[in-house]
A and B are shown apart, each in its own frame.
Chain A
Amino acid sequence: MTEYLPLILGMMLVTYLPRLLPLAALTRRPLPPLVRRFLRCIPFAALGALITRGVAESGPGMMPATLAAIAVAAAVSFRGGSLVPSVVAAIVTAYLVLSL
């Protein structure tokens, strides 16, 4: 039934600890202003890197659809759209590009 139990538990450990330790260590702890500012830059850096990785590793034939979807989501969001309409417009765009 669970041939891969040791592997799964090992993967859980190395996935969970990086998620838990900083949160447990830093929550409600006074941090130097420089560190706080550094941590406030993380979301922008993370999204920039994740979007780029998504495009770069989108797989064979998927890059045009991925780029188009990202552009549409960014445009809808820029014009004040909330997340759901932005993402729906992007999914439709991706589908249209893939169906071309």
Chain B
Amino acid sequence: MDREKQPGFRDGAVDGIPIMVGYFPVAMAFGLLAKTVGVTFADACLFSLVVFAGASQFMALDLIKAGIAAVDIVLATFLLNLRHMMMSAALAVRLRGVRRGLLPIVAFGVTDETFSVASFKPGGLTAPYLLGLNGAAYVAWFGGTVAGYLVGQVLPAAVQSSLGIGLYALFAAILVPGLKKHAGALAIALLAGLLYLLLSRFTPLSSGWSLIAAIIAAAAAGLATLKDGAGEEEA
């Protein structure tokens, strides 16, 4: 059906622009911080090229500075990034007609932001679309890292912070139109937020565990609000 309307690489890259706007300055901050902590340029680039996970890269710099052992940093990274399992699983049910050989490349670029944009893209998801989207984000992340390390702080601090805040605004801008799709969506989002706050504040769970527990619990509770067939139109 509507094969000619399947989103392609170009559509993905265009949809990635709002992510690039946020990633570039945040990656610059990473590059600059890496230099400050004493990480070489090659290592800073490698972090962004092969790990490609903002929060965990910043955490790694923090832990390196504090002299934490590599094994512990890797474990903390694992816990922080477990949430991507849920995101990757959620993307899987919407991918259609994809060559299996492309999946390892598509999977590499699953971040909070690319997942969010892709999840609320109307219609089916294709591998070229995701490659364009993830590729745009990746280029901005790596480019920002290089620029931050080599050039340092060129943007005034308030501009840099505002661009970083733009990523959270992006989440809100993505979520709002989605809420119109079905009545339970707002309840699911609010419940997830509330659970995250409660878990991260009042239990010993780390931020990573709190996040994944809140997402799973709210989505499971959401099953009760989502009627059969609702939200299946994009399938």
Which residues of A pack against B, CB within 8 Å?
Answer: 1-16, 18-29, 31, 33-34, 36-58, 62, 65-66, 69-74, 76-78, 81, 83-84, 86-88, 90-92, 94-95, 98-99
Contact (A34, B51) CB under 8 Å given A10-B74, A20-B104, A21-B88 = no
Closest A-chain residue to B189, C-beta based? A48
Contact (A45, B192) CB under 8 Å given A8-B47, A23-B110, A62-B161 = yes
Known: A19-B85, A25-B92. 9 other contacts (CB 8 A): A1-B42, A3-B40, A7-B73, A8-B43, A15-B52, A23-B91, A23-B92, A39-B90, A52-B192
Chain B nearest CB from A47 CB (Å) reads 4
Inter-chain contact A49/B193, CB cutoff 8 Å: yes
Residues in B whose Cβ lies below 8 Å from that of A47: 116, 171-172, 174-175, 178, 189, 192
Interface size on B, residues (CB 8 A): 102
Closest A-chain residue to B92, C-beta based? A26
Which residues of B pack against A, CB within 8 Å?
Answer: 15, 17-18, 21-22, 39-40, 42-43, 46-47, 50-53, 56, 60, 64, 70-71, 73-75, 77-78, 81-93, 95-96, 98, 100, 103-104, 106-108, 110, 112, 115-117, 119-120, 158-159, 161-163, 165-179, 184-185, 188-197, 200, 207, 211, 214-216, 218-220, 222-223, 226, 228, 231-232, 235
